[in-house]
Amino acid sequence: MLISRALALPLVLSLAHVTSGCAALEPPPPPPPQQLKLQVVGEPGEPIADVPFLLDNKEIGRTNGEGVASFAVDGEDGRPFTLSVACPSGTVSSSRALELVLRRMDRAPTYDFHCVSTERSIVVAIRTEGATDVPVKYLGREIARTDAEGYALVHLVPKASEVVHLTLDTSSDPKHAMLRPIDPQVAVGANDDGAFTINQKFVTERRAVRAAPKPHVPVAVFEKR
């Protein structure tokens, strides 16, 4: 069938209008992924390499030699997601998984994670004033004794945040039987590495000396007549 030139132009315009109308009905393309970064450091602020990181509880990569990782998150603005790291053995993350909301930004935001040791290294200097050779016990076991001048130095590696209870044992040796207080306990918090000083004063209780009983002298009784 032949179409005259007079009808061809309206037909082309009509087809173009239909095509543009169909294009308008198509959904807009998804937004580009948002680039993000994270950094993992240990103690004292040293970067940690090869740390797995998780997006919505799924591992998606590991940190590089500088403790840094770059990654992308897809989705619409407002989409919630979680970000966490799996710290190396012997350490734990100082924070829980981050609960975030996706927002488009020109620059990639950086999220910091800290992997802290599950143990602490502490040194405790102990002085027992008024007593010497006093056993120092930790968890029921003797770990040191004060010297001839009443000093002892102990090194402990407790769990982080543990409260260390040390007992100065005065009840196991008869020569300390009169020391007061009896078996005092001292507590040290292990929130941070460091050195602590404890000064415990003892006094020696004197034994009570009973006076000797007076001798019994019979008393003569006379009857009146």
In CATH, what number does 122-204 get?
2.60.40.2610
CATH code for 34-117? 2.60.40.1120
Q: How many CB atoms lie within 10 A of CB 81?
A: 16
- What is the model's pLDDT at position 33? 95
Sequence spans of domains, the chain: 34-117, 122-204
The 10s digit of each residue's pLDDT in 120-164 is 899 999 999 999 999 999 999 999 999 999 999 999 999 888 899
pLDDT digits (tens, 9 = 90+) for 210-224: 666 777 666 655 565
Flag whether pLDDT at 99 surpasses 90. yes
pLDDT at 216: 67
Q: Long-range CB contacts (< 8 A, 24+ apart) of 204-207?
A: 204/130, 204/178, 204/179, 204/180, 205/178, 205/179, 205/180, 206/178, 207/178
**What is d(CA 44, CA 160) in angstroms, rounded to the nearest whole number?**
15
The Cα 218–Cα 221 span in angstroms is 9
Cα 57 from chain centroid? 21
pLDDT above 70 coverage of the chain, percent: 82
pTM of the model: 0.61
The residue among 46, 48, 47, 194 whose CA lies nearest residue 120 is: 194
189: number of CA atoms within 13 Å, CB side?
3
- Tell me phi and psi for residue 177, to 5 degrees: -60, -30
What local confidence, expressed as pLDDT, does residue 193 receive?
A: 74
